[in-house]
Amino acid sequence: MTNNADGDAIVVENLRVVRGARTVLPGLSIRVPHGEVVGLLGPSGGGKSTLMRAVVGVQVVAGGRVTVLGEDAGSPALRHRVGYLTQAPSVYRDLSVRHNVGYFARVLGIGGDAVDRAIAAVDLTDHANARVENLSGGQEARANLACTLVGDPEVLVLDEPTVGLDPVLRRDLWELFRRLAAAGRTVLVSSHVMDEAVRCDRLILLRDGRVLSDSTLPELLEMTGAVDAEQAFLALIDAADAADAADAAHPAEGDGLGGAA
């Protein structure tokens, strides 16, 4: 079900975030359509995690506005409707997978077979009673994801959910994200792995806190003449570098890409 007039599940307008002495996001605007898998890609330090933190309402922001499902990010009304997977695992390693997922279910007031369904969704049923400390790294990552899924949130914000996973597990998780979107969930997912771009409905390429492009993969390839997402992204970075260099050489001639404080 669409929750705001234009069908965007997440709307970020002119978001400005300062962390320490650094302006991480100088004034970023994006929209994430309802029911799509949107990939957030870009080099390390570009601001992907910071943007995701703002979307789930745990980031102090210096300006702009972020709304999710028509509500201000982080508002209590969104608590059960937005799931957030952080990069660092947030499971208790001395508890079993089932106890961990059950704990999150209880916090959300969820009963029934939700715990078993979340564990099955990440293919950990055979390890449901194993303590997390006895799992492999990939299994631990999936246990963490099961905790995020257990409330069946309408919006999922997943910070590098496939990092460190083998190709088969990565494929399986992307199929899960696609199924979630097909069921009307919205998935904002970050990745360093450019070949995962083909799995996304839209791609947002972020670098130095700025959106280099926001398009479908076919649009991106057509725009850049590249054969794949990685080549396209590198072409966009080169173009942005050239624009920055031109701005620096001629500071009085317009603000180009370099105008943010």
Ligand X SMILES: Nc1ncnc2c1ncn2[C@@H]1O[C@H](COP(=O)(O)OP(=O)(O)OP(=O)(O)O)[C@@H](O)[C@H]1O
Q: Which of 24, 61, 73, 118 binds ligand X (CB under 6 A)?
A: 24
Q: Does 44 bind ligand X (CB under 6 A)?
A: yes
Strand (E) or helix (H) holding 243 = helix 229-249
The helix-helix angle for 137-149 and 97-108 (nearest 10°) equals 20
Pairing of the two strands 155-158 and 8-19: unpaired
Helix, strand, coil share of the chain (percent; to 5):
40, 25, 35
Q: Does 207 bind ligand X (CB under 6 A)?
A: no
Closest to ligand X by CB, 20 vs 218, is: 20
Size of the site for ligand X (CB under 6 A): 12
Q: Does 101 bind ligand X (CB under 6 A)?
A: no
Q: Does 46 bind ligand X (CB under 6 A)?
A: yes
Q: Please list every residue from 57 through 96 that binds ligand X, using CB under 6 A.
A: none
* Residue whose tokens read 């570098």: 241
Q: Does 22 bind ligand X (CB under 6 A)?
A: yes
Backbone angles phi, psi at 162, to 5 degrees: -105, 5
Q: Which of 1, 5, 6, 20 binds ligand X (CB under 6 A)?
A: 20
Q: Does 49 bind ligand X (CB under 6 A)?
A: yes
Rounded alpha-carbon distances, angstroms, from residue 17 to 23, 59, 160, 176, 216: 6, 8, 21, 32, 26
β strands within the chain, DSSP E: 8-19, 22-33, 37-41, 63-68, 71-72, 82-85, 155-158, 186-191, 202-207, 210-215
Closest to ligand X by CB, 152 vs 160, is: 160
Find out whether 89 and 163 touch, Cβ atoms under 8 Å: no
Closest to ligand X by CB, 19 vs 99, is: 19
Q: Does 109 bind ligand X (CB under 6 A)?
A: no
Q: Does 50 bind ligand X (CB under 6 A)?
A: yes
Which segment (45-53, 137-145, 163-171, 231-239) binds ligand X by CB under 6 A? 45-53
Q: Does 37 bind ligand X (CB under 6 A)?
A: no
CB 50 → ligand X: shortest distance, Å? 3
Q: Which residues bind ligand X (CB under 6 A)?
A: 19-20, 22, 24, 42, 44-50
